[in-house]
Amino acid sequence: MLAYETQNPLPFLSITRDGAWDVLTTTAIEIRSRDNHLPNNRINLEIRWKDGRLVQFWRPDDRDHQNLGGTLRSLDRYMGTAAALDGVHPATMESPDVSATSWPTWIFCEIDPLLSEQHPDPPEYFNKRDWLQGGKRSYNDDRGAIERTFNWYKEARKFAPGILSHSGYCMLNDSTSAIMDADDFPIERTNPGSQDWYFFAYAQNYLLALKDFRLLSGPAPLPRHKSLGIILSRWPAFTETEVAEIGKTFAANGYPLATLVMDMEWHKEGWGHWEFNPELIPDPKRFLALCHQFGMEVVFNDHPLDVREDDTHFDEYVANAGPDVEIRTREYNGKHLRMAKVDICNKQQNASFRKTCHTELMDLGLDYWWNDGSRGQMSGTCGQLVTNKVFFEESQRSGRRGMLLARYGGLGSHRYGAFFTGDANSDYSVLKLECEFTIRAGGVGISSISHDIGGFGVASDLLTTNAAGVSIMEPSQYLRWLQFGVFNPILRFHSAPGCGSRKAYDYDDLVNGACAHWLRIRHALLPYIYTAMRAHHDVGIPLVRGMYLSDPENPLTYRWDQYFFGPDLVVAPILSAANVRTVYLPKGNWWELESGKQVPGDREFTCAAALHEVPIYVRSGCIIPRQSADADIHSSHIKELILDVYTGADCESELYEDDGTSTRYLDGHYCKTLFTLQQIGTSLSLSGKISAGIPFGRERTLIIRVHRIQPLLSVQGPNGQILSIESSGIHCQTMTVTGMLSAETWNIVLI
C-alpha cells in the first residue's frame, strides 16, 4: 500500500550494451541486466553505485548486515522478563514490515506450552481474568498470569530493517503488496509472480534516502498543533467529575492539558461494545462539551474486532456487513454471546462498521480515535495499516486536519497520525529502549512516536504515596521519564490499573517543582517543534534524529541513547538511576541549554546531571524560536515570539506557522519566516523576512535573547530606534520589539 506523488520520471543518461548485458545508467547507479525474459535473480541482475572512491555491487538475495533498523508493531511484550531487543535483523529481499503476506523470519512466536494446552484460543483468554482480578482493576494482582497471557503475541528479538543502512543502499520488495481500487480501498493484486522492486542507492547521504522514501510512499501529514501539547491517558478511563478536576488543576499548575484520552471503559463492558458506559459518561454530549470547554481534544480507545449481540449496533452492522460476515458464539466473563466479526480488510464490513459504530460518536464531537489493535485478512497488507488509513481519514473531514493514535501497521504508517508503541513496564531498561526505538523509527519515515510516559505497569512493591495519599511510582524515575517525554514528538502519559498516578502535579512537591519546570520548557518550545514537524512533512526528516544523519562517516555518531531534537538541539536524556552519563557532541561549539555555558564539541565526555537537570546542548550559530511558557495552548498564533539567538557562526533558521487545525496548509495557507544572523565586522545583523506562504499580518511582541560571550553595547531596532538591553542570565541579554513583525522584512543591528 504505497502512495505516489505525481512526478516526471527522469530518463536514463544512457542505455548501452556490454556483451549480453543491457546497461542502464543514471546519475547515481548503473543497472546491468540480461536474460530479461526471466524473473530477476542473482544471475541476470546487478546494480552498481559509487560510495566515495569505491564501487559497490548488489544482486538479488544479498543480505545487508549494516542496516540501521526500522520499528516494530509494539513494545507490549517488553515488560522486564521479555527478551531484549538486540540490534537489527539483516535486511533481505523479504518485506521488512508486518504488511508482508507472512511474518518475516526476524519475528517468531513464543508460546507457553501450558497456556497452549489449557487455552488454545488465546484472544478469548486474553483480558478475561488477568487484568481485572476479582474486580480489583489492578495490573499487579497476578503478574505471572499476565506475562503468560502476553505469550500469544508475536515477539521480535531484533529491530526490523529500515530504509537507512551503513552499507549505503536499501531494496524494497513491494511485489505482493495490496493496491488501491477506484475508491482508494486496498485490494489484492491479480498478477501473481510479478516483481515490483524499489532500489535506493545513496552511499552515506541518509537525508536523501529519507527524502526519496517520502517521495515514493507519500508525505507524513502535519499533526494538529494541539497534538504536540500534553496528552493524558489512563486505564481505567476518567469519570466526568475527574475531567473537571484535571482540566482545572493542570492549568493551575502552569501546564494546561491539550488532549484527554479515554481508555476502553468509555463504553460498556469488554471489547465489541460501542455504547457509552453510563457510569462514566451518563450524558455523552455534556461530557464532550465539558472536555472542549477546558480546551481539551477528546480521544476514545477503539478495538474494531467484533460487535456483540448485547450492543444496540449489532443488528444494523450485521444487516449491512454483507453475506461474508462471520457470527460466532463466544464465552465472555461468564456470558455466552453471539459476536459479529469485523474484518477491517473487507470493504463492506469496514464501511458498515464505521457507519454503524463510529459516525454518531464523531458527530457528537469526538476528535479522533486511539486504535489499539484490529483484525483484517487480506494478502499483501495487514488489518492494522488498513485501520489506520480509514480511521485517520475519518477524522479528517469538514476541512479539519486528521489525527490518530494507533499501533504500527508496516511501511506507510507514517501517513496516518501518531504511532502508539504499546504497553511496556515502568523500568529503566524500557526507558532506555524507548530512546533507541524512537531514533530507529525515523528510518522508516516515522516521526510522531507516542510512548506511555511513565511506563504502563509498575510492580506493587515499587509504588509509594505522596503527601495527599495518592499512589505514585518512584518520583525520580517518573521525572526522568517525563524529561525524556518532553523531548519526544508526542508527550502522552499513560498507566495500567493500580500502577500509580501519571499526573505531573502529584509529583512536583517531591521533586521541587521539576515536573512543572520541564513541562513549561516543552510548551515554550512548541514553535521550534512545530517547525520541525513541518520539515518532516516537507522532506521526511524526523523530529528525533539519529546523530549519524548529519555526520554519517563519524563512527561516534552511531549511538542510541542521545539524539538531535530538531536541527539545533542535542538531547542526552538520563535513562538510568545514575545521575551521570557519557555524552558525545558533534564538531563546533555548543551552549548548555539551562546553564548558558559554552561547551566545545567534537568530543565524548562524562556529564553529571542532578535530578532536575538534563544534558541538552544548543548549536552555536542558530536561532531557536520559542513562545512564552504561559502562551495559550489552544491558539496557534504566537503573540509573544521569543528568538533565542546563539552566536558563534552565521546561520539561517525558520519559523513555520499555520492555523494549527485545518488542511489549508496543503494549499499554501501558512507562513514561513526566515531569520538570518550575520557577523558584520564587530557587529551582528539579525534580520527576518517572510520566505514562503501568506503573511498573517497580526501584531506580536518580539523578544530577542542574545547568547554571546562578550556583552552587547547597543542594539538598533528595525526603525533605527535604540533598544534597551537587559541581562537575563550568564552570557545572555534580552531586548524587546513590538509591531507587525510577522508581516514585514526587518533588521536589527547588535553591537
What confidence category does residue 156 fall into, taking pLDDT thresholds of 50, 70 and 90?
low
Give the C-alpha distances (Å, rounded to integers) separating 202 from 61, 199, 207, 209, 428.
19, 10, 9, 6, 36
Q: For the ranges 203-212, 281-290, 683-692, 739-748, which has the lowest average pLDDT? A: 739-748
Q: What is the pLDDT of residue 375?
A: 84
Q: How far is 373 from 379, CA to CA, in rounded Å?
A: 18
Tell me which range, 52-56, 369-373, 378-382, 558-562, is most confidently predicted by mean pLDDT: 558-562
Contacts (Cβ under 8 Å, ≥6 apart) of 99: 1, 177, 380, 381, 382, 385, 409, 410, 411, 412
Q: Give me the half-sphere count of Cα atoms (radius 13 Å) on the Cβ side of residue 365.
A: 15
Q: What residue type is assigned to position 55 of the chain?
A: V
pLDDT digits (tens, 9 = 90+) for 66-79: 999 999 888 886 75
Give the C-alpha distances (Å, rounded to integers) separating 204 from 200, 553, 604, 638.
11, 7, 23, 38
pLDDT digits (tens, 9 = 90+) for 42-65: 999 999 998 877 889 999 999 999
Q: Identify the residue with better confidence: 136 or 562.
A: 562
Grid coordinates given for 672 = 514561513
Is the pLDDT reported for residue 147 higher than 70?
no
Numbers of helices and strands, H then E, in the chain: 14, 43
Q: What is the mean pLDDT of the chain?
A: 88
The residue-averaged pLDDT of 484-495 equals: 98
Q: How far is 424 from 458, CA to CA, in rounded Å?
A: 10
534, 656 contact by CB (below 8 A): yes
Q: What is the pLDDT of residue 10?
A: 82
Q: Identify the residue with better confidence: 98 or 522.
A: 522
Q: How far is 340 from 350, CA to CA, in rounded Å?
A: 12
Is the pLDDT reported for residue 93 higher than 70?
yes
Is the pLDDT reported for residue 396 higher than 90?
yes
What is the pTM for the complete model shown? Answer: 0.92
Q: What is the pLDDT of residue 695?
A: 85
72, 108 contact by CB (below 8 A): no
What confidence category does residue 257 fall into, taking pLDDT thresholds of 50, 70 and 90?
very high
562, 605 contact by CB (below 8 A): no
Contacts (Cβ under 8 Å, ≥6 apart) of 578: none
Element (H, E) at 251: helix 240-252
Burial letters 406-430, b for 16+ CB under 10 A, else e: bbbbbbbbbbbbbbbbbbbbbbbeb
Burial letters 446-456, b for 16+ CB under 10 A, else e: bbbbbbbbbbb
Whether cis (ω within 30° of 0) applies to the bond prior to 236 is yes
Strands (E), 270-315: 297-302, 306-308
Phi, psi of 163 (to 5 degrees): -80, -30
Spell out the domains of the chain, with CATH numbers in brackets: 14-58 (no CATH), 224-382+403-409 (3.20.20.80), 529-619 (2.60.40.1180), 622-750 (2.60.40.1180)
Q: Which residues on adjacent β-strands are paired with residue 640?
A: 701
What confidence category does residue 744 fall into, taking pLDDT thresholds of 50, 70 and 90?
low
What confidence category does residue 270 fall into, taking pLDDT thresholds of 50, 70 and 90?
confident
Q: How far is 383 from 113, CA to CA, in rounded Å?
A: 28
Q: How far is 233 from 85, CA to CA, in rounded Å?
A: 26
Q: How many residues does the chain have?
A: 751
620, 584 contact by CB (below 8 A): no
567, 622 contact by CB (below 8 A): yes
Q: What is the pLDDT of residue 331?
A: 83
Sequence-ordered alpha helix ranges (H) in 345-461? 347-353, 359-364, 383-395, 428-441
Q: What is the pLDDT of residue 245?
A: 95
Q: What is the pLDDT of residue 746?
A: 84
Is the pLDDT reported for residue 134 higher than 60?
no
302, 369 contact by CB (below 8 A): yes
DSSP state of 413: G
DSSP state of 455: -
Q: What is the pLDDT of residue 377?
A: 81
Give the C-alpha distances (Å, rounded to integers) separating 47 from 44, 262, 499.
11, 51, 54
Q: How far is 157 from 214, CA to CA, in rounded Å?
A: 28
482, 522 contact by CB (below 8 A): no
What confidence category does residue 97 fall into, taking pLDDT thresholds of 50, 70 and 90?
low
pLDDT digits (tens, 9 = 90+) for 276-312: 999 999 999 999 999 999 999 999 999 999 999 999 9
Q: Which residues on adjacent β-strands are paired with residue 300?
A: 262, 369
pLDDT digits (tens, 9 = 90+) for 624-636: 999 999 998 878 8
Q: What is the pLDDT of residue 506?
A: 98
Contacts (Cβ under 8 Å, ≥6 apart) of 323: none
Grid coordinates given for 114 = 501450558
The residue-averaged pLDDT of 367-374 equals: 92
The CA R_g of the chain, rounded to the nearest whole Å, is 27
Hey, is 444 helix, strand or coil? helix
The residue-averaged pLDDT of 125-153 equals: 36
Q: Which residues on adjacent β-strands are paired with residue 646?
A: 622, 707
Q: Identify the residue with better confidence: 145 or 616.
A: 616
Sequence-ordered alpha helix ranges (H) in 110-218? 113-118, 122-125, 143-149, 206-217
pLDDT digits (tens, 9 = 90+) for 602-651: 999 999 999 999 999 999 999 999 999 999 887 888 999 999 999 999 99
pLDDT digits (tens, 9 = 90+) for 722-740: 889 998 888 999 989 876 5
54, 206 contact by CB (below 8 A): no
Q: How far is 311 from 270, CA to CA, in rounded Å?
A: 11
Is the pLDDT reported for residue 136 higher than 90?
no
Is the pLDDT reported for residue 145 higher than 90?
no
Hey, is 257 helix, strand or coil? strand
What confidence category does residue 590 fall into, taking pLDDT thresholds of 50, 70 and 90?
very high
Is the pLDDT reported for residue 151 higher than 60?
no
Is the pLDDT reported for residue 459 higher than 50?
yes
Q: What is the pLDDT of residue 73?
A: 83
Q: How far is 516 from 546, CA to CA, in rounded Å?
A: 28
Please choose, from the candidates 453, 523, 519, the residue with its C-alpha nearest in 3D space to the C-alpha of residue 485.
453
What confidence category does residue 466 fall into, taking pLDDT thresholds of 50, 70 and 90?
very high
